[in-house]
Amino acid sequence: MALRLRSVRPSRISPGFISKPRILPLRPSPTWLQRSYARYSRFGDDEGGNRGRNPNEPDENDFNKRGVELFRQYGAAAALAGVGTLWYVSHLEQVPETQRWRYMDVSKKMREVLEEQSYAQLMSEWGQSILPINHRATQLVQTVAEKLITQNGLGHVVTRSINSNADQKPDEWLVYVVDQDIKNAFVMPGRKIVVFSGMLRQVQNVDQLAGILGHEVAHQLVGHVLERLSLTRMLVFLDFAIQFLLGTNTNLSGIVLQALIALPHSRTQELEADLIGLRLMSKACFDPNAVVSFWQSFDKEDKLQPPQFISTHPGHKQRAKAIEGWIPAVRSEYPCVEMVDFAQAYQQQTVRDQPSTGFLEPAQPARTSGHRSRTPQRTSPTASPPASPDGSNWGAHDPWATGSSDPNSRPGDASDWGARDPWAERNGGKKNGSW
């Protein structure tokens, strides 16, 4: 008997019969104790005196377990913080030029890698815009940098083409001028100074240019780039530790660390470079006052300055005021090398020209103690005596000869220069008359 199969069509349900989802009222979440100490209790379990006890009520064993968990979590964090503190203190050092304490944690290998990466980045971004070494702007910057570096005993500037593969010696500096209308200059690890043509149009003389270059040389001399890298690594560690302790995964802690530590540290570095740069340019016989006028003029032109608390650099007015206050001490403590050399050579020549008084024999004093007539001595019998300021004969009247045979002298007059004016009688009897 053959079976006849009939296709089954899917049933259609009217939308009216579809049940709408119900919104259940929110129930309060279990408390910290309920989540931590909830336990299972069998029906009729009366062993151990658990009958009639609330199963959610914590007991002593549960508290011990929770204490072990807290110790594992926060004890590890405390141990990690202690190790980090010891690491931080062991890597503190002082800046020789300013005696400022800083954290420095950069190895020699990391320094070499950073130099190679920064140079490769410079060539990739601005390599096509770097002016040749025979350009007038490049020669100007190299000349000022050469004087600034050599006068301070920091090495010398070398003129080398961009594609040169020659190794850079420890006392060699490279200077590049980028033909871009950007008012900026910076220094890279490895003693490489980069100046944009927009900054050259901003400066008005070589003294202001020396101030810009001295600032960048100071960055390299102190190692501010490496110090900033060390601080960045430390802040990453602190950000991770804060998020671990608070149980959050937001960028709020990183923003707070940047505002409270990184940005103020960057502004401190900039002011420190300004101070050291002033010393370098003063020693190289440039005028430090030119830097004050530069920042004052720059402040008038730059109207889009960000607020200082969110900036990596101090304000232009603050820098000009700080530099103006440093100039007197810088001029006295770091005088021009050329003037010092000239003064030393002049002093040596003066000592060499003086007649010798004999070996270990003291020279005779120019004025002996006791009474001595100050009558000028004539060089020859026929020579006429020198005229006094009032036109009278000097030799006929000795104003300091006490008790002499001079008819114009009076007994009891003092013989000291300052006690009696020799021409007071001819000046109307007034003492200290016109010489």
- The residue whose two tokens read 């009366």 is 46
Which of the four pLDDT bands, split at 50, 70 and 90, describes residue 417?
very low
Q: pLDDT by residue (tens digit) across 249-260? A: 778 888 999 999
- Average pLDDT of 42-69? 58
Q: Do 334 and 289 meet the contact criterion of CB atoms below 8 Å apart?
A: no
Helices 108-126 & 224-246 angle (0-180, nearest 10): 100
Distance CA 265, CA 260 (A): 9
What's this model's pTM, rounded to 2 decimal places? 0.65
Structure tokens at 420: 């009696």
Which range is least confidently modeled, 11-15, 190-194, 203-207, 393-397? Answer: 393-397
- Average pLDDT of 272-284? 96
Helix (H) or strand (E) holding 216: helix 206-222
Distance CA 237, CA 214 (A): 34
- Measured between alpha carbons, how far apart are the two ends of the chain, in Å? 159
Q: pLDDT by residue (tens digit) across 326-385? A: 999 999 999 998 777 767 776 777 666 665 444 344 444 444 444 444 444 444 444 444
pLDDT given at position 274: 96
Structure tokens at 101: 């304490």
Q: pLDDT by residue (tens digit) across 202-214? A: 999 999 999 999 9
Structure tokens at 182: 């950007």
Using DSSP, state whether 373 is helix, strand or coil: coil
Closest residue by Cα to residue 141 from 208, 88, 190, 49: 208
Helix (H) or strand (E) holding 140: helix 136-151
Q: What is the b/e burial string over 189-209, where b = at least 16 CB atoms within 10 angstroms of the residue's CB? A: bbbbbbbbbebbebbeebbbb
Q: What is the b/e burial string over 322-357, where b = at least 16 CB atoms within 10 angstroms of the residue's CB? A: bbbebbeebbeebebbeeeeeeeeeeeeeeeeeeee
pLDDT given at position 79: 82
Question: What residues form DSSP beta bridges with 92?
Answer: 103
User: Sign of torsion, CA 229 230 235 240?
Assistant: positive
Q: Which of 165-169, 341-345, 397-401 has the highest mean pLDDT?
A: 165-169
Which of the four pLDDT bands, split at 50, 70 and 90, describes residue 2?
low
Structure tokens at 265: 């540290």
Query: Which candidate in 146, 216, 227, 272 is catalytic?
Result: 216
Q: pLDDT by residue (tens digit) across 341-353? A: 767 776 777 666 6
**Does 261 score more than 80 pLDDT?**
yes
Higher pLDDT, 207 or 406: 207
Using DSSP, state whether 206 is helix, strand or coil: helix
DSSP state of 416: S
Strands 192-196 and 172-178: parallel
Higher pLDDT, 90 or 241: 90
**Does 228 score more than 50 pLDDT?**
yes
**Does 276 score more than 80 pLDDT?**
yes
- Cβ contacts of residue 331 below 8 Å, gap of 6+? 282, 288
Which range is least confidently modeled, 44-58, 149-163, 268-282, 309-323? Answer: 44-58
Higher pLDDT, 347 or 144: 144
- Phi and psi, residue 102, nearest 5°: -150, 165
- C-alpha 21 chain-centroid distance: 67
Active site residue 216: yes
- Cβ contacts of residue 313 below 8 Å, gap of 6+? 266, 267, 270
- Cβ contacts of residue 40 below 8 Å, gap of 6+? 55
pLDDT given at position 394: 45
Structure tokens at 134: 């025979």
Which of the four pLDDT bands, split at 50, 70 and 90, describes residue 405?
very low
* Residue ranges in 305-386 assigned as alpha helix (H): 316-333, 337-353
**Does 425 score more than 50 pLDDT?**
no
Q: Do 289 and 246 meet the contact criterion of CB atoms below 8 Å apart?
A: no
